[in-house]
Structure 1
Amino acid sequence: MANLKELRNRIKSVSSTMQITSAMKMVSAAKLSKAQDAIQAMRPYSEKLTELLQSLSASLEGEQGSPYSEQREVENVLLVAISSNRGLAGAFNSNIVKATKGLINETYAGKKVDVLTIGKKANDILSKEFSVIENNNAIFDELTFDNVTVISQNLMDIFVAGTYDKIVLVYNQFVNAATQNVAREQFLPIQEIEGEDASVADYVFEPSKEEIVEQLIPKSLKVQFFKALRDSVASEHGARMTAMHKATDNATELRDSLKLSYNKARQAAITNEILEIVGGAEALNN
């Protein structure tokens, strides 16, 4: 009977775990719906604005150009690794860590590379091996454009100051609830458009190209950075919902297997007791 007690305890434990993972799945699904609507509404605007200003910036030469477009020999690189503050999201955080390490050890091998982390999970791992100059965990507590602007403005300032020659964002780009792609997106300098796409469409600029570049490019960069964080948040909820769905299915399968083992063991115990009773009765009759 000790075996039956052990099985009962395991069934109870697995059932409790299943309830937790199921609840977490529903919470993530609710949060995902809101985050998905936000990123899908923002993405077309951000991409079109970036495309327009990249093209416009490329058409200006020399001193007319934006300081954010300045191309330098790459010696100092800053990687902005965007993860989450919580786990239980499958490979969501580990993919960011892996991609960041790949950039440091392969793409920018031989360069001076620093890391700025957004999210506790990436910071916990990367800070043990690499130079992490800053970590921003609290930004996810209140993810607003104004709060994010403080970080993006700091990145823009240190680039203009010449501290870094290139700044790259590493984050999960939301595709759907089951799919998130790791993006390695150059934030600064603004990438030049080459080939046929480099020509500016037949726009009328008012007041002038130069003033538009001066005023809108900083805003465009802030929108681009905000979009990356929005993408990451939606990806996190999608990854966690998928992970908790699989965990719930696995817990259900394990619980059913344990129940079957319990019923078999209980049936065997009952059969043994019946045999003992019958054997005792026959001995008394003899």
Structure 2
Amino acid sequence: MANLKEVKNRIKSVISTQQITKAMKMVAAAKLRRAQDRIIQMRPYANKLSVILSNVSSGVEDDTVNEYAEVRPVKKVLLVVITSDRGLCGAFNSNICKTASSLIKEKYQDQNDNSNVYILPIGKKGLDYFKKRNYPIIEDYVTLFGHLNFDEVRKAAEMAMNGYKSGEFDAVELVYNEFKNVATQILRKEQFLPIAPPAEEEKETSVTNVDYIFEPSKEIIIEELIPKSLKVQFYKALLESNASEQGSRMTAMDKATENASELLKELRLTYNRTRQAAITKEILEIVGGAEALASN
């Protein structure tokens, strides 16, 4: 059994850790509120923009060229892996990295064998994971979460879009966590480029007969809408990930605080038992000494 000093030191250590986890939970809760508000405000705009684009593009002649929808043989792939800059958020980062690795093995193994799978990590945890595994990495946009706004994110989206247009990449995919609630995040593997045509069911449900007036022309408007929609989609993925990160961290710190409380109960019980055993031992020694003296 541990001595009293060791148990007392452990109790102090656990109390200190519990104070830290409580503080981190409160900070995560404050950040979550702001991140949740941003993504809730963003979703209707992004969804409406997608619907307008579907409505407008549905009537465009077949010979209209959409350079972002051009399907070609996939030789080089860009994977945008969205993680966090810091840990202590449960399995948030490990799930994303494992999902990205599984996507490479299942869908792009041939390209990976030729070192043609490029990683654009957003978040330092993703950078560390893929750097250790010697993937070709584009490090220019790792720290976007330090100043998360549309202007900064737009640059990363444009880099991916320009790389696709120029033929540097033949496919671009996003891997991120979609925010559902504080305790639940949904892993998403989303094809960013080429733009996938909507399924027949989606066409029936999302495309409505709206009589638009086009100025100067439908084709020119689509040329403006598509890049805008792609950048908004990219930004939305980062907002989803940011809210998911704070929710995951808040949950993890809440569980850590509860575990610390349970551990404190056990340690205090152990401390009391150890102290009682020490007192009992001292009493027995005194009684034994008294009996020895009496017998003499």
Do they superpose with TM above 0.5? yes
Any idea what SS the aligned residue of 2:89 has?
coil
* Residue deviations 1:170-206 (CA, integer Å, cap 9, x gap): 0011011101111111111111013254364322132
Report the counterpart of residue 246 of structure 1 in structure 2.
Answer: 255
Q: Which runs of 5+ in 2 are unaligned?
A: none
Question: Unaligned regions of 5+ residues in structure 1, if any?
Answer: none
Residue type at the aligned position of 1:173 = E
Counterpart amino acid of 1:93?
Answer: N
| C-alpha contact (below 8 Å) 2:157/2:234 kept by paired residues | yes
- For residues 162 and 51 of structure 2, the distance between their equivalents in structure 1, rounded to whole angstroms, comes to 22
Whichever residue aligns with residue 143 of structure 1, its letter is L
User: Any idea what SS the aligned residue of 1:134 has?
Assistant: coil
Output the TM-score relative to the length of structure 2.
0.91
For residues 165 and 2 of structure 1, do their structure 2 counterparts lie closer, same or farther at Cα, with a shift above 3 Å needed? Answer: closer
- Which residue of structure 1 aligns with residue 244 of structure 2? 235
The one of 149, 154, 161 aligned to 2:159? 154
**2:183 is the alignment partner of 1:174:** no
Q: Counterpart of 2:188 in 1: which secondary structure?
A: strand
Per-residue Cα deviation, 1:240-276 (whole angstroms, up to 9, x for no partner) = 1111111111111111101100100101111111222
CA contact (8 A) 2:2 2:274 kept: no
Shift of the alpha carbon at 1:2? 7.1
The residue type paired with residue 202 of structure 1 is N
Q: Is residue 202 of structure 1 aligned with residue 224 of structure 2?
A: no
Count of residue pairs the alignment pairs up: 286
CA distance in 2, matches of 1:279, 1:128: 65
* 2:223 is the counterpart of 1:214: yes
Residue 7 of structure 2: aligned partner: 7
Separation of aligned partners in 2, 1:12 and 1:234: 33
Give the whole-Å Cα distance in 2 for the aligned partners of 1:205 and 1:80. 37
Cα pair 1:81 1:170 within 8 Å, conserved: yes
1:127 aligned to 2:136?
Answer: no
RMSD: 1.8
Cα pair distance change 1:148/1:240, threshold 3 Å: same
CA distance in 2, matches of 1:120, 1:58: 40
| CA displacement at 1:109 relative to structure 2 | 1.9
Note if 1:31 corresponds to 2:31.
Answer: yes
* Shift in Å, 1:118: 0.6
Check whether the contact 1:175–1:181 (CA below 8 A) recurs between aligned residues. Answer: yes
8 Å Cα contact 2:29/2:246 also seen in 1: yes
- Structure 1 residue 167: deviation in Å? 0.6
Q: TM-score, normalised by structure 1?
A: 0.94
Identity across matched positions, percent: 54
Aligned residue type for 2:232: V
Listed one character per residue, the Cα deviations across residues 133-183 of structure 1 (whole Å, up to 9, x for unaligned) are 312232111101111111111111111111111110000110111011111
Partner of 2:64: 64
Change in CA separation of 1:9 and 1:196 when aligned onto 2, cut-off 3 Å: closer
Distance in 1 separating the partners of 2:53 and 2:270: 65
